[in-house]
Structure 1
Amino acid sequence: MKLIDMQKDAALKGLQLPFGVLEVWYPDSSDWDTAGFEALKRRELDEIMLLAPEYDRKRDFSEDPYFRYFRKFKKTYPVMAQLESFLLKGRPFPEWSPINQVAFLTELKTRVLLGTHDVERVQGPVTLYRPAAEESFTGMGGRESHSYKGDLTGRDDGGIILSMIAGPDERTCLQEDTLHPVYLVFAPEDYPAARVESCLEQIAAYVRALAPGARMERLVL
């Protein structure tokens, strides 16, 4: 079985910059417990929705390290936007791909930023680095995108596949037939590694609910 190879470049290795990796080998969808996962998802979403009456962006996010990191790049923290869409605007939870739903549910639950890729579409080892200048790549959905100077970015032998600010690329993003994803947990510098570990455990719990027979490997870089 292919195992993803991820590493930090030399400039990142001396920093307190935890990066979580949970690689999953799902069985065929005929072996998934979709009813059990759906019931768990509904319970979790109902619990999250209870926060709506008291939600306050300033109180809940102004000191959040992810919010502040994105603000440095003059960007809106996407997990905050997703949470507000769900809590305040009544937007439905995305129903495409239960594998993707695991990631989205984890983001709403933990407010931590995730990325999800198809390992079978990754070309060679992945190196995490901070680019010195903008570098172009094709983002998810085929849109023209680019990395940001100083932002955590990842590349394989085929080019950039992830950017904390810009998101995933088109080539390695989840597909309808994906059964071998990797869930990535991004964190700003000096973020506690224990919180990244906790987020990985939350993802793993949802994976186990969806596919009790799934195999998983995880680490924090």
Structure 2
Amino acid sequence: MIQATEKWKERHPDAKMGFMVMNQLMYGMGTEILDAEKEKVEQLLRNSFADSTSLKGQPAIAAYVKYYKHFKKTYHVLKQQESVAFKGKSIPQSIPIVEAMFMAELKNGLLTAGHDYDALKLPLYLDTAQGTESYTLMSRNIQQPKNEDMILCDQCGVISSIIYGPDQRTRIVPETKTALFVIYAPPGISDSMIHNHLTDMYTYVKMVYPEAVVEQQQIISAR
């Protein structure tokens, strides 16, 4: 379903991408259990880290910080973790599928993009941006990916990049019945980190959609 280009393999030889397709998301229950789990994630962050230095010391966070630094950017998931851990912020309300993804991101530090599977034009390509492409962000702004950033494309164009995130066209919406989750993993992110992250997302989604099933799951690497 996702094919890695030779350009991606050459430019990012130690990187990976994990993905999971979940369907049967149309029969949702109440969000009470998910809300309770969300509070547990918030408390975990508040109880596990004394300061920003300890947060940055997480192996996963360190890997992303290094990648983002190459593009003169800061890793936004770290900033979100800091807001919850040290500023008393709560995980915001959203579509339950998106909430589940965001909860796992904050817990594990792994960058994840979510897409409505039925909006995709398959097959997908994991590629390296040339900096000349463009796509419409969730904010509806037109954005060119950073040159050499990792991007994911369908047959209509870019659907997400590490630095700028997912697109508007294939975003998860309340009517989404099948979702694709992709984990961008720069060097330093292990297979076990990705597997644990996917398991957490599956667990959280099942709290609202008990009939949800994993249709596909895989880790792609250049080696």
Q: TM-score, normalised by structure 2?
A: 0.88
Aligned structure 1 segments of 4 or more residues deviating by more than 4 angstroms:
none
Shift of 1:176: 2.2
> Which residues of structure 2 form unaligned runs of 5+?
none
1:46 Cα deviation from its structure 2 partner: 2.1
State the shift of 1:137 in Å.
1.3
Q: How does 1:71-220 map to 2 (within 5 A)?
A: 71-189=69-187, 191-216=189-214, 217-220=216-219
Amino acid at match of 1:103: M
* Aligned partner of 2:56 among 50, 54, 61: 61
How big is the shift at 1:13?
A: 4.2
CA distance 1:37–1:173, shift in 2 (3 Å): same
Is the contact made by 1:33 and 1:212 (CA closer than 8 Å) also made in structure 2?
Answer: no
What runs of 5+ residues in structure 1 fail to find an aligned partner?
none
Contact 1:18 1:196 in 2 (8 A): no
What secondary structure does 1:19 align onto?
strand
Superposition deviation, residue 211 in structure 1: 1.9
Q: What is the identity percentage for the equivalent residue pairs of Structure 1 and Structure 2?
A: 25
Give CA deviations for 1:86-115 in whole Å, capped at 9, x if unaligned.
222233311011110001100110011111
User: Which position in structure 2 is the counterpart of 1:32?
Assistant: 29
**Does the CA-based 8 Å contact 2:25-2:178 persist in structure 1?**
no
Question: What is the TM-score when the length of structure 1 is the normalising length?
Answer: 0.88
The letter for the 1-side match of 2:179 is: P
Q: Which amino acid aligns with 1:36?
A: I
Deviates more, 1:175-184 or 1:95-104: 175-184
Q: Report the aligned-residue RMSD.
A: 1.9
CA distance in 2, matches of 1:119, 1:27: 11
